Amino acid sequence: MADLLTPENLVNALSLGALYALIAVGYTMVYGIIKLINFAHGEIYMLGAFWALLVVGMEQATGINLFVAIVPAMLLCAAVGMTVDWSAYLSLRRRLPLADGLSIGGLTLLGVGAIFYKLTGDTTHAWYSEAAHGVFGWSIVALVPVVMLALSIGEKGGMLGRSLGRVSSDRLSALITAIGMSLILQTLAQLVWGADYRAFPQESIPAWMNEPSFHLGDAPVLGKELTMWVVALAMMAGLHLLVSRTKIGTAMRACSMDQETAALMGISVDRVIAFTFLIGSGMAAVAGVLYSVKVGGNISFRMGYYPGLLAFAAAVLGGIGNIRGAMLGGVLIGFLQGFTGGTFTIPFLVMILVLLVLPRGILGEPQATRA
Amino acid sequence: MSEGRVVLQTTALRKDFGGVRAVNDVDMTVRAGRITALIGPNGAGKTTLFNLMTGNYGATAGTVVFTDDDGASHSLVGRRPDRITRLGIARTFQNIRLFSDVATLDNVKLGMHPRTRAGVFSALLHLPARREERTVHEAAYQYLHFVGLAEKSHELARNLPYGEQRRLEIARALALDPSLLLLDEPAAGMNPQETEELMGLIRRIRDLGITVLLIEHDMRLVMGISDHVVVLDHGEVIARGKPEDVKNDPEVIKAYLGDEAA
């Protein structure tokens, strides 16, 4: 046990904590307002790394500094996040006829995606890359809008929608749509960029990032690790200010308390929700870029899966819906993983144990009582 | 009382819930500077009518037209609640809907939200936001003072007694700077003393130049302060006019008090 408490592990734990905290706030902010677990959030994190990679050069270095590339990565991820909300979740919230189609579309995609994932997940198959880039791959991409359209035409989500009826609650439809969204983004990334692990070109990374900036005990803290900590801290502080001090932050808090009443205070709820996706996605993009630098590559269509899952666990551990809880949960999960040699078992085990005692998470408020 | 200009006009307004017609072809006029009361037995469709006016429900058929202080007319059907609020219509709820874990003063400040600016950069840089913050703070106090809750500014909304929560909701609605205020059963759960005070408060609101439309079951309040009464039963208007005329209308007595009273 004692040999786990090393300075090296502490450095790693701090970086993982920063990573999970940055992603977890995105989960928790969206949940706080629309009570939806946005499972596509891990894919936003993945896309952040890819957008930055495109800017600094995927095959050949463009000579652009990685820090410069973070900005377009954030903007693009914010756009993707808002698009996901607008295209998939908004119609569910508004109970548009499209909603049935989208939820069933999401379910269909879950199946299609799972089969496709199973078939192509093993990259050693020679036929894979040809198939993925070939007709087969693109036909699946084409299938997505066709299936959705087919299912959503008509008054109540089309033929299939009517025959299934409204079997699921709205929350469940939204959840399945979120999982579907996650698979769409993963599959699209795989089709466009393939399944190889990629890394940022060395030229784009400032030299000091790979040099020790100081030592923690006898463990060197590299510039890239320090950057993660500093950036994560700064973003958390900024988010705190945003939520507590600004007009849009006040609107966010009002919407998380009572959307309908917030609307009657003249607050445009849809705009607040879009803004929430924007902020969360931007932070996830930063996490995606910085963590890829830290591990020296590993940029692939699947990179968002485990960090997304662990960050979700962090948000739940801290009390889902509570921003400070997500920060705390992120650091805790990071430490649990960092000090146990990178296992997934211990963080999840601890999460389960904590939830047994505190079902709403560490900082989660007790079940609201209504008069 | 002179005929004020028309602030709100519904025409053939209709709302169906599945097979149930909650509001049936309601034509209703709310005139400026008056207190209009909407009365009727439980389930008559009064709150549904409110929800149609504030955009919480979409109408099945018919129109709602609101004329703002500048004389511009706006169709409210299909408009989102936040937009309708910004046009100048504020409301309170039958079952109080305050931000209950937030201080009294902050509830009122939330009502002033559309009129504040504090953007991302000014908050970070601590720039003119400070001055605005002070103005908002003082104005919020004024609203609390107006409804008689100035001493309770730092209490959490949920810790206030029922009657005071109702008045806080009115203060929050006033903070939206409305030209039309909708009150949904403001006297519900109040004792006679509190109701008496509330009547005074509603009169003072009208004297500010704000048009009031209220739903109420307390007949003493309705007869005491209304300039115009509209009676709804089974989603239809069965009578309208001055309080004393409506009070003696046999149709109203039958619908409202039951057959025995008629």
pLDDT of B60-109, one tens digit each? 999 999 999 888 999 999 899 999 999 999 999 988 899 988 899 989 98
Q: Do A246 and B110 touch (CB under 8 A)?
A: no
Q: Do B123 and A245 touch (CB under 8 A)?
A: yes
Own/partner pairs for B98-102, CB < 8 Å, 24+ apart? B98/A261, B98/B157, B98/B158, B98/B165, B98/B168, B98/B169, B98/B172, B99/A254, B99/A257, B99/A258, B99/A261, B99/B157, B100/A371, B100/B156, B100/B157, B100/B158, B101/A257, B101/B156, B101/B157, B101/B158, B102/A257, B102/B156, B102/B157
Whole-Å CA distances, A133 to A113, A119, A275, B148, B200: 16, 14, 35, 71, 75
CA-wise closest residue to A99 among A87, A111, A114: A87
| Residues A203 and A221 sit within 8 Å (Cβ to Cβ) | no
End-to-end CA distance of chain B: 30
CA dist., res. B84 & res. A266, Å (int): 8
Tokens of B102: 């937030």
Interface of A with B (CB under 8 A): 238, 241-242, 245-251, 254, 257-258, 260-269, 371
* H helix or E strand, kind and range, residue A220: strand A219-222
Q: Enter the pTM of the model.
A: 0.81
Helix (H, G, I), strand (E, B) or coil at A319: coil
Q: Could you tell me how many CB contacts below 8 A there are between chain A and chain B?
A: 76
Task: Quote the minimal CA–CA distance from A270 to chain B in Å.
Answer: 10
Q: Do B113 and A257 touch (CB under 8 A)?
A: no
| pLDDT tens per residue, range A303-324 | 999 999 999 999 999 999 899 9
Evaluated on CA atoms B244, B3, B182, B202, the torsion sign reads negative
Q: Do B81 and A254 touch (CB under 8 A)?
A: no
Q: Do B97 and A261 touch (CB under 8 A)?
A: yes
CA dist., res. A204 & res. A64, Å (int): 6
Contacts of B56 in chain A (CB under 8 A): 260, 264
Write down the mean pLDDT value for chain A: 82
End-to-end CA distance of chain A: 50
Tell me: pLDDT of A139 over 80.
Answer: no
DSSP state of A58: S
Tokens of A124: 């050693």
> What pLDDT score was predicted for residue A176?
76
| Residues A230 and A323 sit within 8 Å (Cβ to Cβ) | no
| pLDDT tens per residue, range A154-202 | 444 444 444 444 433 466 667 777 888 888 899 889 888 888 899 999 9
> What pLDDT score was predicted for residue A105?
59
Q: Do A247 and B113 touch (CB under 8 A)?
A: yes
| Residues A8 and A219 sit within 8 Å (Cβ to Cβ) | yes
DSSP state of A342: S
| pLDDT tens per residue, range B3-61 | 689 999 999 999 998 888 999 999 999 999 999 999 998 889 999 999 999 998 889 99
> What pLDDT score was predicted for residue B8?
95
Tokens of B113: 């939200």
Q: Which residue has the tokens 């005071």?
A: B164
Chain A nearest-CA residue for B86 = A266
Contacts of A364 in chain B (CB under 8 A): none
Task: Quote the minimal CA–CA distance from B230 to chain A in Å.
Answer: 25
Q: Do B123 and A261 touch (CB under 8 A)?
A: no
CA dist., res. A151 & res. A184, Å (int): 17
Provide the CA A20 distance to its chain's centre, in angstroms.
Answer: 10
Each domain of chain A, given as residue ranges in start order, spans: 2-357
Q: Span A313-336, mean pLDDT?
A: 94
Contacts of B80 in chain A (CB under 8 A): 263, 268
Evaluated on CA atoms A284, A289, A294, A298, the torsion sign reads positive
Evaluated on CA atoms A190, A195, A197, A202, the torsion sign reads negative
Between residues A133 and B216, which one has the greater pLDDT? B216
Tell me: pLDDT of B221 over 60.
Answer: yes
The one-letter code for the residue type at A239 is: L
Structural domains present in chain B? 1-88+178-262 (3.40.50.300), 100-177 (no CATH)
Tell me: pLDDT of A108 over 70.
Answer: no
CA dist., res. A244 & res. A253, Å (int): 8
DSSP for chain B reads ---PPEEEEEEEEEEEETTEEEEEEEEEEEETT-EEEEE-STTSSHHHHHHHHTTSS--SEEEEEEE-TTS-EEE-TT--HHHHHHHTEEE--SS----TTSBHHHHHHHHTGGG----HHHHHHT-THHHHHHHHHHHHHHHHHHHT-GGGTTSBGGGS-HHHHHHHHHHHHHHT--SEEEEESTTTT--HHHHHHHHHHHHHHHHTT-EEEEE---HHHHHHH-SEEEEEETTEEEEEE-HHHHHT-HHHHHHHH-GGG-
Contacts of B129 in chain A (CB under 8 A): 245
| pLDDT tens per residue, range A45-62 | 999 999 999 999 888 888
Tokens of B134: 């002070």
> What pLDDT score was predicted for residue A164?
45
Provide the CA B160 distance to its chain's centre, in angstroms.
Answer: 21
Chain B nearest-CA residue for A238 = B124
CA-wise closest residue to A208 among A59, A48, A66: A66
DSSP for B54-85 reads TTSS--SEEEEEEE-TTS-EEE-TT--HHHHH
Other residues' Cβ atoms within 10 Å of the Cβ of residue A29:
27
